[in-house]
Amino acid sequence: MTAMFNLGVIYEEQGNRAEALKTYQEVLKLDPAYYKAKVNLAILLEKEGQSHLAFDHYNDAIKANPKEPKIY
């Protein structure tokens, strides 16, 4: 799971937001509780001007890992 998540990070760093988005979504299909993918997906959606969707993913990240002191 971590490798696939890291692939999404690499896509995003290369400016390939479409592939990053698909990769983060695939990670979440395989592990819906993977909060880092939720956070990165939210950040990406926010950059794409989809704040309403980003908000949902931020909330999901908090629910998935409520003890995490910092969600970016």
Q: Which of 41, 18, 46 is nearest to 28 (CA)?
A: 41
Domain segments of the chain as ranges:
2-64
- Placement of tokens 């592990």 in the chain: 31
What's the predicted TM-score (pTM) here? 0.84
Q: Is the pLDDT of residue 24 over 90?
A: yes
Amino acid 33: pLDDT: 87
Residues with Cβ within 8 Å of residue 58, at least 6 apart in sequence: 38, 39, 42, 71
What's the fold here for domain 2-64?
1.25.40
**What mean pLDDT is predicted for residues 18-24?**
96
Amino acid 70: pLDDT: 62
pLDDT tens across 38-68, in order? 999 999 999 999 998 999 888 888 887 777 6
